[in-house]
Structure 1
Amino acid sequence: MAKLVLNVALPAFKYEAMYAGSAKNLVASCLDGRKVQLPLSAFQRFVTHEGIYGFFEVEFDNMNKLIAVTKIR
């Protein structure tokens, strides 16, 4: 299984775009400099009034299917 650590900074007004239908994915930077695109819905439980902020560990299976997203700080 592969794991990535992401630094996510997504203000609430941009997250709201998902509900308007104009955004379905989150593009974030890994700590190693790579950029990844993930379904925004995977981060729904981490939304606050400010948006989504913090460091997240994202786990994938051997077929690169998303398994889990965990907030680590």
Structure 2
Amino acid sequence: MQRLRFRLAISKAQLLRYYQGRVAALSVNTEQGLRLQVALHHFRSFVGHDGLNGYFEIELNEQNRLHRLSRLP
């Protein structure tokens, strides 16, 4: 499995536009130099009052599909 890390800082106002149906996925640039499209619904459990912020790790299976997404300390 492949593990990739990235940071997100998306304000509450930006997220509201996403959830209103204008955007179905986030495009993230990983520390490893890759660009990923990740469906927005995978981030729901990480959204706070100030938006979506943090340092994340995504684990991809052998078919490059999301296996696990977690927020790192």
Q: Same fold (TM over 0.5)?
A: yes
TM-score with structure 1 length normalisation? 0.89
Identical aligned residues as a percent:
27
Where does structure 1 differ by over 3 angstroms across 4 or more consecutive aligned residues?
none
Aligned residues: 73
List runs of 5+ in structure 2 lacking aligned partners: none
For the aligned residues, what is the CA RMSD?
A: 1.2
Aligned residues of 1:8 and 1:29 also touching (Cα < 8 A) = no
Unaligned stretches of 5+ in structure 1?
Answer: none
Q: Aligned pair 1:7/2:20, yes or no?
A: no
The amino acid of 2:40's aligned partner reads L
CA–CA separation in structure 2 for the residues paired with 1:39 and 1:64: 14
Measured against aligned partners, the alpha-carbon deviations of 1:15-50 in whole angstroms (never above 9, x if no partner) come to 112321101111122123332221111111000011
